[in-house]
Chains A and B, each alone.
Chain A
Amino acid sequence: DAKTTQPTSMDCAEGRAANLPCNHSTISGNEYVYWYRQIHSQGPQYIIHGLKNNETNEMASLIITEDRKSSTLILPHATLRDTAVYYCIVKRNAGNMLTFGGGTRLMVKP
């Protein structure tokens, strides 16, 4: 599975949009981009995933560049409860384990 690169940490003001970038320049055509987050002392929580089209659900939006070498997770109105470590993962679908890198520690501030 392709390797990803994310900033170590980011701050965001409460109520503002949080934009979390991820580089995955070696992504293959059959690999998906997944985002998970982990709030302190809890299990990882699935957020969203996509292949090449932009995706939106009740939690977030995922913007994937046309060349698929990078993506951005957008939390439209960040709250204090969104403070967590966010992981961008690239993997083939079906039957593959997840490999978490360092992730981005997002701190939402009042």
Chain B
Amino acid sequence: GAGVSQSPSNKVTEKGKDVELRCDPISGHTALYWYRQSLGQGLEFLIYFQGNSAPDKSGLPSDRFSAERTGGSVSTLTIQRTQQEDSAVYLCASSNYHTDTQYFGPGTRLTVL
């Protein structure tokens, strides 16, 4: 079946602009995670959605970052007033709550000029 998909695959934006990144999880997966990975670095957790529960936003680096998950499926990560340090690959993962094996999408490479 289809895996996790993300769009766009690449995004180049100017400093100060807002961007939206989209994640389509695996059908039926109730949990959805957003991470980011800077060049040569490990994963940095951003936010976690589980079903209808309130999301765990503890990893969001600033109030410029927000995320929504509509209808328990598609999620959008929004970065307002982008800064150069926001440049990274943004990764989405989804899992079935009971097994919690996380499957990743291909990521969105964000470049802020």
Query: How many cross-chain pairs have Cβ atoms below 8 Å apart between A and B?
Result: 48
Q: How many residues of B contact A (CB 8 A)?
A: 23
Contacts A43-B107, A44-B104 given; does A98 touch B97 at CB 8 Å? no
Q: How far is the CB of B91 from chain A (nearest CB, A)?
A: 5
Q: B101 touching A99 by the CB < 8 A rule?
A: no
The complex places the Cα of A93 from the Cα of B100 at a distance, in Å, of: 6
Q: B42 touching A100 by the CB < 8 A rule?
A: yes
Chain B at the A interface: SS class: loop
Q: B50 touching A99 by the CB < 8 A rule?
A: no
**Residue B59 lies at the interface, judged by CB distance under 8 Å to chain A:** yes
Which range holds the interface residue count of chain A? 10 to 19
**Residue B65 lies at the interface, judged by CB distance under 8 Å to chain A:** no
* Nearest A residue (CB) for B30: A95
Cβ–Cβ < 8 Å partners of A42 in chain B: 106-107
Contacts A43-B91, A43-B105, A43-B107 given; does A96 touch B100 at CB 8 Å? yes
Which residues of B in the span 39-81 have a Cβ within 8 Å of any Cβ on A?
A: 42-43, 45, 48, 50, 59
Complex interface bits, B75-102 against A, C-beta within 8 A gives 1, otherwise 0: 0000000000000000101000111111
Q: A95 touching B105 by the CB < 8 A rule?
A: no
- Which of A46, A95, A97, A101 has a CB less than 8 Å from the CB of B101? A46
10 shortest interchain CB distances as A-B pairs: A43-B104, A97-B45, A100-B42, A100-B43, A44-B104, A94-B100, A93-B100, A43-B107, A43-B106, A43-B91
Offer 5 A-B interface pairs, CB within 8 angstroms, sorted by A: A42-B107, A49-B101, A98-B102, A99-B42, A99-B43
Report which A residues bind B (CB closer than 8 A). 34, 42-46, 49, 93-102
